[in-house]
Chains A and B, each alone.
Chain A
Amino acid sequence: MSLTATPPTKTTRASRTRPGLLTIALAVVVLALVPIAVTTDRFLSLGNARAILASTALVGITAIGATLVMIAGSAVSMAASQTATVVAMVFLATLDLGLAVAIVLALLGGVVVTAIQGLAVGYWEANPIVLTIAAGFAIGGGSVWFSGGTPVNAATGGYQILNATPLGLPLAVYVLLLLAVVAEWILRRTTAGRQMYLVGENRAAARAAGLPVGRVTGVAWAFFGLCLAITGIFLAAFNTSATTNLAGTLTLDAIAAVLVGGTAIAGGKGSALRTLGGALLISVITDVLLLRGYSTGIQILVKGVLVLAVVVLVHVRGRR
C-alpha cells in the first residue's frame, strides 16, 4: 500500500500538483527500504508480516487518537503511557464484574481522565504539554497507589477472547484498522472533525468566528482517551497482569508515529490514515533492523533520525 500519497484534501491547482518535499522524501525511504527488506532473510514470510502488524497495533491505536489531538492544535499528550497503564489496572481489577462491565469501566475511565485534560486545554487554554506532564505524574501516582506498587493481576479469566487471532492476526490489528477508518471519517465527514482542522490551524480565528473551540478540543481529546483505553485493555489482556510501567515508551512511540505520518505538530494538517502509514513504516524499519541483527540501540537511533527528518520536512513545507 502507498504510505506516501494520501494528501489531506483533493489535489489543488498550483501548489499540490507537484509532490511536496515530504512525499518525495518518504517515497525515497520506502523505495530504499524495499530492496533492503526483500533481501533480508525471513522478511518475506507470513509470520513476519503478522509480527509487523501485531507490533504496530498497540502503538498505532494510541497514535490514531493522538492524531486528532495534534490536528486540533493541542500538540501532544505526555501522559499516554500512564493513562493506558491505569486503564489496564482498572480493567484487570474489575474483571470479576464480567468482561463487558470491565471493558465499559476501563473505556469510561480512559475517556473521562483524558477528556478532562482536553477541556482544560480547550476552555482555559492550558498548555497541553505542561498540563499532560502534570497529569502524567498524577495518573502515574494514582496507578502506584491503586496497585500498591505490586503487579495487578486479573481478578478472573474471561479476557482471553481479546487475545484471539482471527485469520492469524491479533484482534488488536482489526481494531486498529477500524479505529483508523473511524478517525478518518470523523475528521472528514463530521462537523467536529472539520472544526478540528480549523481550530488547529488558527485558534484565534476559530474563536472570533464563534466556533466552539473548547468543545471541539474536548471531543478530540475524548476520542484520544478512548484510543488510550483500548490500548490499555489490550495491554492488560496480553500481559494478564499490569505493573506500573506496563505501557513502557508508548507516549513517545505514538508521537513518533503521528509525526512520521506527516501531521503538523502545530495543528491544522494531517490525517489518521497517514498516521497508520507512519506507524507501519516505523514497524517495518524496526523489523528489518531486527532481522538483520542490529541492536536495540540502532533501532531506536534510526527511529529518532526518521522522526527528526520528517518533522524538519513538514516544517520546511509549512514555511514554504
Chain B
Amino acid sequence: MTQPLVVIDALARSFAGVPAVREVSLTVGAGEIHALCGHNGAGKSTVVKMLSGQLTPDAGRVLLAGEEVDLRSRQVAQQLGVALVDQELSVVPALTVLENMMLGDIDAPLIKRRRAAAERCREILRDIGLERLRPGQLVSTLSLGERQLVEIAKALSQRARVVILDEPTATLSEAESQTVFAAVRRVAARGCAVIFVSHRLPEVLELCDTVTVLRDGRRVTTAPAAELTVERLIVHMLGETPHRLEASRQPDPDLTHALRIEHLRVPGRLADFTLTARAGRIYALAGQLGSGASDVLRAVAGLHPTADGSVELRDRAVPFRSPVGAARAGIAFVSNDRKGEGLFLDQSVARNLTATRLHKARTARSLAARAGLPEDRLADPVRALSGGNQQKVFVGRSLDRPDVHALLLDEPTRGVDVGGRAAIHRLLRDAADAGLVVVFASTELEELLELGDVILTMRDGRVVETYQGGTDGAALMRDMTEGKDAA
C-alpha cells in the first residue's frame, strides 16, 4: 500500500482537565473501511469531532494525503474533503433529494444549472445503489434508511475523500442497514477512506476491513477485522470484564405494589414489552439508541400517545396515553433530556425541587439535604448549577412524594461526574428501599451492573434476555449489540 490517505498522529483532547482522548494514532488508507469501536466514554465521538472540525485537538496532527491540515471548522474540514454523516440526520424533509444534496455543496454555483445538477445527483445516487430515488423526490416521502443514504450521497456530492459515519445504523432496521452497508462499500471502492463508528459489533466485523478499539481515551488495539470475533472485541473494549451482577439483593416483596406492563407497543419503536416490576427492586433496561429501552419508559410515562398495551400500578390501571394521567397514577419520569424536557433552568433550585408538589419551602430544604445539594444554593437558578447537581435536582424532584409509587429514569446519570453518579445511585437505591418501583434505562454497563437488580437487555424494540443476577458486562454487551438473531 502506498501512503495512507488519513494519518492521525497522537491526537489528544481533554475537557475541563479530564482527558477524553489521549494520544490516539491511526491510519486509514484509500478504499479502506476502518471501524472505531469503544464503550461509552471511550473517546470515539471526540475523535470524530476533531476529525470533522467540530473540536480542536489539544495536541497531535492530522495528515490528509501526506499533508498536515488544520481542521479549524466544519466548513474547512468539508473543503478539505472530510464529510461527516452524523447519527442525527441533517437532511431537510421539506426539500427534494436534489436540493438536499446541493445544500451543503460548497462548490455549487450560485445560480444552479438545474439539468446538470440533476444529472450529477442521479449519477451519485446510482453510485451508491439508489437508482430508485428521483432527484425531485421530497425527502419527507423517504424511509429513515433512505434518508440516511441520501445523507451519505450528500457527503459524496461534496467530493469527499474521507467519509466518517457516526452510528449511521443506530435507528435503522436490519434490511435498511444492509443497503447502507452496500453504499458504504461502494463509497470505499471509489477510493475514499471510510471511518465507521458503531455500537453494533457484528455489523462492524461484517463491514469493516480494520478495527481500532478505544478505551478510556486510549487506543487499545488496531487489527484486521478478519482476525477478530465479537467476544474478543468486547474484551478489548471493556478491558477487565466489569464485576458480575450479584444475585438479587432484596428479598422479593409481594406483588400488590408492582408495576405491571403487558404487551406494551409503540408503533415503529417498541415491538412488544412485558414486565412485572416489583416494588423495592431496581429494574435496568439495557439498550443502545433505538433499542426501545427508552421508549418503554416514555410510553409508561404518557409521552407516547400512540402506545398500546396495558399498564397497571398497585393493581390499578394507569392511563398511560397522557402524562397527566400517568403522573396521577403515581408514575414519575426523569427524561434523558435534562435541559429540554426536565428542568426549569431559569427557576430556582427550590422551585424545581417542588415543581410537582408545590408545597412549602421546608420541603425543598429537606429534599436538598437528601439529594446532597448545598442548601445555600436553593434560591439560585438551576442553570447556574453543575451538570451533576442539576441531575440531583431533577431526580430529587420525584423523591419523598407520597403520591409517587414508580420512578422511571432514562439515562439517570447522563453528563454527570463520578461523584454525582454515586450520589444519584444511592438516591435511587434509597427510593427502592423505601418501597418504590424503580425502572431505569441506560447504555452504560457499569451503571447497569451496579444499580440493576434485574437487567433486561433490549435490541430492535424487543427484550433479548432477562437477567436476575449472574451476568456480566460481556453478556450484556453481546445482547445489546448482537441480539438473539446473531450467530
Report which A residues bind B (CB closer than 8 A): 9-15, 191, 194-195, 197-198, 201-202, 204-214, 268-269, 318
> Of A15, A195, A207, A208, which one neighbours B358 at CB under 8 angstroms?
A195
**B343 on the A face (CB < 8 A):** yes
Q: Are A268 and B332 in contact, CB atoms less than 8 angstroms apart?
A: no
Provide the B374-408 mask, 1 if CB < 8 A to any CB of A, else 0: 00110111001000000000000100000000000
A9–B332 Cα distance when bound, in Å, is: 27
The residues of B that contact A9 with a CB separation of less than 8 Å are 348, 351, 379
Tell which of B166-174, B238-246, B248-256, B320-328 binds the partner: B320-328
Q: Report if A204-B341 is in contact (Cβ < 8 Å); known contacts: A12-B379, A13-B379.
A: yes
Task: Please report which residues of chain B, range 260-293, place their CB below 8 angstroms from some CB of chain A when the two chains form the complex.
Answer: none
Q: Report if A12-B351 is in contact (Cβ < 8 Å); known contacts: A202-B345, A210-B356, A268-B346.
A: no
Q: Report if A208-B341 is in contact (Cβ < 8 Å); known contacts: A13-B379, A15-B381.
A: yes
* Additional 20 contacts, C-beta under 8 A, given A209-B323, A212-B324: A9-B351, A13-B376, A13-B377, A15-B381, A191-B358, A194-B358, A197-B344, A198-B355, A201-B344, A205-B343, A205-B344, A206-B344, A207-B341, A208-B303, A208-B335, A208-B342, A210-B301, A210-B323, A213-B324, A318-B346
Distance in Å: Cβ of A235 to nearest Cβ of chain B = 37
Provide the B306-341 mask, 1 if CB < 8 A to any CB of A, else 0: 000000000000000001101110011101000011
Closest to B298 in A: A208
> Of B301, B324, B345, B376, which one neighbours A211 at CB under 8 angstroms?
B324
**B221 on the A face (CB < 8 A):** no
**B347 on the A face (CB < 8 A):** yes
A211–B326 Cα distance when bound, in Å, is: 10
Q: Are A208 and B379 in contact, CB atoms less than 8 angstroms apart?
A: no
**B302 on the A face (CB < 8 A):** yes
Task: Please report which residues of chain B, range 102-156, place their CB below 8 angstroms from some CB of chain A when the two chains form the complex.
Answer: none
The residues of B that contact A210 with a CB separation of less than 8 Å are 301-302, 323-324, 326-328, 331-333, 356
The residues of B that contact A14 with a CB separation of less than 8 Å are 380, 384
Q: Report if A208-B323 is in contact (Cβ < 8 Å); known contacts: A198-B344, A198-B355, A201-B347.
A: yes
- Most chain B beta-carbon contacts within 10 A, residue among A9, A10, A209: A209
Closest to A215 in B: B324
Interface residues of B, count at CB 8 A: 32
A318–B344 Cα distance when bound, in Å, is: 13
A207–B384 Cα distance when bound, in Å, is: 23
> Of A10, A194, A201, A209, which one neighbours B397 at CB under 8 angstroms?
A209
Report which B residues bind A (CB closer than 8 A): 301-303, 323-324, 326-328, 331-333, 335, 340-348, 351, 355-356, 358, 376-377, 379-381, 384, 397
A10–B379 Cα distance when bound, in Å, is: 7
Q: Report if A194-B356 is in contact (Cβ < 8 Å); known contacts: A12-B379, A209-B327, A210-B332.
A: no
A210–B324 Cα distance when bound, in Å, is: 4
The residues of A that contact B355 with a CB separation of less than 8 Å are 198, 209, 211
Distance in Å: Cβ of B358 to nearest Cβ of chain A = 5
> Of B344, B348, B379, B384, which one neighbours A202 at CB under 8 angstroms?
B344
Q: Are B384 and A209 in contact, CB atoms less than 8 angstroms apart?
A: no
The residues of A that contact B303 with a CB separation of less than 8 Å are 207-208
Q: Are A12 and B380 in contact, CB atoms less than 8 angstroms apart?
A: yes
A210–B319 Cα distance when bound, in Å, is: 12
The residues of B that contact A209 with a CB separation of less than 8 Å are 323, 327, 333, 355-356, 397
A269–B381 Cα distance when bound, in Å, is: 12
Across chains A and B, which 9 residue pairs bring their CB atoms closest together, nearest first?
Answer: A210-B327, A12-B379, A201-B344, A204-B341, A208-B341, A191-B358, A210-B323, A208-B335, A202-B344
The residues of A that contact B379 with a CB separation of less than 8 Å are 9-13
The residues of A that contact B346 with a CB separation of less than 8 Å are 201, 268-269, 318
Distance in Å: Cβ of A92 to nearest Cβ of chain B = 41
Sample of 21 A–B contacts (CB below 8 Å):
A12-B381, A13-B379, A14-B380, A15-B380, A15-B384, A198-B351, A201-B345, A201-B346, A202-B340, A205-B340, A205-B342, A207-B341, A209-B397, A210-B326, A210-B327, A210-B331, A210-B332, A210-B333, A211-B356, A214-B324, A318-B346
Q: Are A12 and B348 in contact, CB atoms less than 8 angstroms apart?
A: yes
Closest to B302 in A: A210
Distance in Å: Cβ of B34 to nearest Cβ of chain A = 39
The residues of B that contact A10 with a CB separation of less than 8 Å are 379
A206–B352 Cα distance when bound, in Å, is: 11
A11–B348 Cα distance when bound, in Å, is: 11
A302–B384 Cα distance when bound, in Å, is: 37
The residues of B that contact A191 with a CB separation of less than 8 Å are 358
The residues of A that contact B335 with a CB separation of less than 8 Å are 205, 208
Closest to A11 in B: B379
Distance in Å: Cβ of A24 to nearest Cβ of chain B = 20
A71–B301 Cα distance when bound, in Å, is: 26
Q: Are B333 and A208 in contact, CB atoms less than 8 angstroms apart?
A: yes
A213–B325 Cα distance when bound, in Å, is: 12
The residues of B that contact A15 with a CB separation of less than 8 Å are 380-381, 384
> Of B301, B347, B351, which one neighbours A208 at CB under 8 angstroms?
B301
